[in-house]
Amino acid sequence: MAVQADALMRRAIERRLTPSDLYRTGDDLGVILFFPALVPQEARSKCAQLGEELAGILSAEFRAEMQVDSAAAAGDPKTLLAVIRQEGDLAEAVVAEIERASSPAAHVLPLSRLDQVRFLFRPIWNVKRNAVFNFLCVPVTKSPGGRVVSGESAVEGLDDRHVRMDYDLRLLRRVVDEFMRVEAQDRRLLFTIPVHVDTVTSTAFRSEYVKLWRTLPLSLQRLAIFDLVGGSDGFPQSRLIEILPTLKPASRGVTLRMPLPATHSLPRFAHVGLHAISAEAPQGREESLAQDFEKFVIAAEKAHLLTYLHGIRTGSLAVAAVGAGFSFIDGPAIGSAEANPKDALRFSMEDLYAKR
């Protein structure tokens, strides 16, 4: 099993590494990874995410419950790279260097509430075209128990307006960087960018946000979809009309995220210029959620709007969303978040069942 497990792990790790990352394997299926471009908090999140993915791959392959332990510590990059070039026991040398760098005497910078948040990209399935070529930027953090948690509910402090603005800018900066990386490789993908409503309705906040976005050429701006977060049952149409002239000319389209049960509000957004209505799949009994899916899609279709459903966690809910008629769906049941999206790919109902 060890040889087969090692091959599976290598393939999974190599898919996740950027050109600047390095890894070395040790004894007993141990792996040491080097992330020169990441701060320690980002490295911890990436290790935890990779650990969960490897556990899932190994469990599926060997039909047994598998566990992958992951940990990360900071070390001086120049010293670590020098260690790699040396002959001898790499693992022992690196562990010694990490212990030295992680000692109480090591300098530790104070953290903001958002420094431990990492932004990854989750594939969105275009149901009607049976393909994935759009990626939603999502926050990923590590829980106190060591599990990887995605979604805004895992980010502390977002009830504070200024924290939300900082969060939106960090997320946008991550998307801008990814656009530049994809452009350098002469590829084309769509990205969906969540942004809170009050970020783009406040004059001062909007100015800083738009200034950052316009560092991209218009050809790349047209490959983005802005997803306005913060819609509610009584969300005023006038507020939406105020926002759209700023975002719509600099994007492919704009969607408004609404609570799933808020179906009677949707007709008000029929002719204001929205691309679609989106919703986050809530936790709850799947039978009742399936009924909410259908009501939501029917209300959106009456308003002549496409529909997105984010955060689907089970295969059965994904099937229910497809049956209800959602245009676009994403979540762990469709595909895990990744640091650097690859090319567009075909994705059909058969692929969904294969993942289950």
Per-residue pLDDT band for 111 (boundaries 50, 70, 90) equals: very low
What is the average pLDDT across 164-191? 93
Residue 302 has pLDDT above 90, yes or no: yes
Tokens for 232, please give them. Answer: 């509610």
DSSP per-residue string spanning 274-290: -SEEEEE--SS-HHHHH
pLDDT band at 3 (very low <50, low <70, confident <90, very high): confident
Q: How many whole angstroms separate alpha carbon 34 and alpha carbon 147?
A: 21
E strands, 143-242, in order: 148-150, 190-196, 224-229
- Residue 85 near residue 34, CB atoms below 8 Å: no
Residues in CB range of 107: below 8 A, 6 or more apart: none
pLDDT at 15: 73
- The CATH class for the domain spanning 118-355 reads alpha beta
Which letter does DSSP use for residue 103 in this model? S
pLDDT at 330: 97
Task: Give dist(CA 210, CA 196) in Å, integer.
Answer: 13
- CA distance from start to end of the chain: 23
Instruction: State how far the alpha carbon of 61 is from the alpha carbons of 5, 55, 56, 133, 349, in Å.
Output: 9, 10, 9, 28, 22
Interval 9-22: pLDDT, tens: 887 887 777 756 77
CA distance 147 to 190: 29
Is it the case that residue 104 has pLDDT exceeding 50? no
Per residue in 179-235, pLDDT (tens digit) is 999 998 888 999 999 999 999 988 878 889 999 999 999 999 999 999 999 988 788
**CA-to-CA dists, residue 237 to 265, 272, 350, angstroms:** 10, 8, 40
Q: Which two tokens stand for residue 307?
A: 């529909």
Q: With a cut of 90, say whether residue 25 has pLDDT above it.
A: no
**pLDDT of 105 higher than 50:** no
Smallest Cα–Cα separation from 13: which of 26, 3, 22? 22
Residue 113 in this model has a pLDDT that exceeds 90: no
- The rounded distance, in Å, linking the Cα atoms of 42 and 139 is 11
Given a cut of 90, is residue 73 above it in pLDDT?
Answer: no
Q: Tell me how far apart the alpha carbons of residues 254 and 225 are, in angstroms, rounded to a whole number.
A: 6
CA 190, 196, 201, 207 torsion: positive or negative?
negative
Residues 249-270 have pLDDT tens digits of 999 999 999 998 888 889 889 8
